Structure 1
Amino acid sequence: MRFGIAVILCCLAGAQGQQVFSVNSETPQFRGGGKTTERQNCESNMFTVQRELGAMGEKLKAMESRLETCQSLMELKSTVASLKAMLEDFKKEQEDRPKVAFSAGLGENGHTGPFNTGTTLVYKTVLTNIGSAYNPATGIFTAPLRGVYYFIYHCHGGSSSEMNVSLYKNEQHIVMAYEGKSDDSSDNMSNGVSLQLESGDQVYLHLAASTHVWGQPKSISTFSGMLLFPL
């Protein structure tokens, strides 16, 4: 680029050095037969320099475009790295998170009840017991840690007597499912609830006096619970 500018200055200086004005003429006069050729050469050099400057300008634009592309790629790589770090943190959080879930079937082939007094239902057929918080010998779920849990139960029975099953937290009545006598050959009922529990709290199902539920090996009557999230 410096060479191009130098050529322009030299050409201008040469042209001015060769130009002679006549005192009695309005039009400048040039001496020497080679002056026209020199001027043409100077103009040709100027055009060459202009082309080179134009080409350099295009190269500069291309370099700017490449720099912008590189900057975008660097920003993209930074974003990908941040997302990978977030994913690893999420995986670690899930791995460290306590896992508690159970499902159990009543397991009896026939009626359970009616009894003269209320009875804790014991769901003996364990389908799932992650965390071993459910005891199939007693029918009681014991919260291993403070958190919010979800419980759901489904009961099947005949039409000979009522069904009345409640969910208890410790000795506190929480929810109930009820089905009266009917002309149908069988009845079904269910209920569910989310509970905030402290470590050691117990949850179980209670069959009311003079009512019944029906069980079978296919676990038609079930009791399930899971930890939604710790607190």
Structure 2
Amino acid sequence: MEEKQVEVVLFGTWASTFCTRVELALKLKGIPYEYAEEDLKNKSELLLHHNPVHKKVPVLVHNGKSIAESLIILEYIEECWNTTPKLLPEDPHQRAKVRFWANYFDQKAVPIFYIIFYAKGKEEREKAIEDLSQVLKVFEEGIEKDFPGQTPFFNGESLGYLGIAIGSLVCNYKAINEAIGAVFTSEKNPKFLSWINAMKNCPLMEETLPPHDKFVARLRVYLASTQA
């Protein structure tokens, strides 16, 4: 494809939760953008040009300048389009705590999710699911301690940075459970799932998440490829 002279272009793939993060932020801010769907088995020259280091999506191109990595893109959007609704709280300490827990989720929970997918047997997968549950328990306790009586997944009445970062993946939990098994359950992590269900009902989240059946099918194809 030839790159068009538009202000904002998002290179992504529909099943990527990291790309969903960026779409949520762009829609929330009301930023017009062009979406370029990538085939990750046959990456475009434009994607390789704009992200020569990691060669992956998402990549946001703003006035010809490239920004990679989803959480960095979220912060760029917040700083560049400093308009309401805001992704981050005004208070610097609150902002730092929101960033901390988003990073915690990406560094601790997301890698275990990949282990669950790549597990070669039932025992390995069940151990990884239990490890994920323990990580989420720490998350639950930390959120309640750092944000007592608050809903840090929303900034005011709209989705915030933390809600976008976590909801883009876990608001798909019913599809994940259907494709893999009981990965996310209210028995093990009731507070976490209650927060996720509140975000899942947000109209913007419902509009932006991939269709349930299509996502289940993609997950099953991916899971089969890891077991081959």
Give the TM-score normalised by structure 1: 0.19
Question: Considering only CA atoms, is the larger Rg found in Structure 1 or Structure 2?
Answer: 1
Query: Higher strand fraction: Structure 1 or Structure 2?
Result: 1
Query: Higher helix fraction: Structure 1 or Structure 2?
Result: 2
Give the TM-score normalised by structure 2: 0.19
